[in-house]
A and B are shown apart, each in its own frame.
Chain A
Amino acid sequence: MKKNLYFEDVEIGDDIGPIKRSVTDEDVIEFISVREKKITPSRFTSKEVANSEGLPEAIVPGPMNIALMAQVLTDWSDTVCLLKIDVVFRQTVPHNKGLTFSGIVTDKDETGGSTKLGCDVVMENSDEVKLVIGTGVISLPNKP
């Protein structure tokens, strides 16, 4: 994570990340347990249930994927404030497989004292297939 990144430091086209990681079975159970005290088998936790729904394997819950996509932006610098994230799922996300998260600055709003940046964010699998795409709006402070 970058320390003290300021609006003036950033240009359109600047890369954010990439971050490589996978989501384990345990991660998914922990995520679901935030709300559900008793975990019942579902497409998110059970290969059998996933298979019965026509899926090849258990998948990562959509809300968890969004949290991971948002993290690419909030991990960029301790000065990032996430204002909005907007994602579209292109394909289901499997457990325990390598995932690459990356972002890029696509817009810089310099009107009226704004310090907002527009960013693309992408989650890809090891074949570079985009599983989740999205955009984020963040703000950074001005340089003191």
Chain B
Amino acid sequence: MTTDEGIVYDRSLLGVETHIGTFELTREMILSFAKSTGETNPRYVGNNNGDGDIVAPPTICNVFVSGVSRPDIKLEFGEISFFAGQSIECKAEIRPGDVLSASTKLDNVYAKTGRSGKMVFAVWETKFRNQDDTTVALVTESFVRRNKNR
């Protein structure tokens, strides 16, 4: 544990890559994702009957990112966490039937102040590879931890 800039967390996790899951992406999942976001682009939803060749919308990896268990950084601050930001670099198309393997590493932890008072941010870098070991997406996510609004 360390107290850099007054933040207490498990520094040993910085830069350590951890496998966080393997996920199969079905056509139904892609169509459900598209439906929930009001997607109408035929590339992602097929023809009028929902048939035809499709690819996944470019941010589909988020479905998996949000559900995984990351290593606990044992951050001793705040009562509540939020998604603060994200970058997705789309490296290759993702198609129905692809099996995606995700690995993540802690990139940075830092503090700042905002409208909600003091906040601590943890930044993770996650790489998704498909069944051919091709990297399909590089995702950088930032989570903020703060106290609840009173």
Contact = CB atoms under 8 A, between A and B. Distances in A.
Interface of A: 1, 21, 27-28, 30-31, 33-36, 53-55, 61-64, 66-68, 70-71, 74-75, 78, 82-89, 92
Contact of A62 (B42, B63, B86, B148): B86
Interface in B56-102: 57-59, 62-67, 80, 82-90
Contact of A28 (B32, B36, B39, B87): B36
A84 B32 contact: no
Given A35-B67, A53-B80, A54-B150, A66 B88 contact: yes
Say whether chain B's binding surface is mostly helix, strand, loop, or mixed: mixed
Given A30-B32, A33-B32, A67 B37 contact: yes
A85 B148 contact: no
A63 B59 contact: yes
Contacts of A70: 57-59, 88
Interface in B129-150: 140, 142, 148-150
B37 A68 contact: yes
A84 B57 contact: no
Contacts of B65: 63
B82 A62 contact: yes
A83 to B, nearest CB: 6
Contacts of B42: 78
Contact of A85 (B59, B63, B80, B82): B59
A89 B71 CA distance: 23
B18 interface: no
Given A28-B36, A54-B150, A87 B57 contact: no
B108 interface: no
Contacts of A63: 59, 62-63, 65-66, 83, 86
A53 B148 CA distance: 6
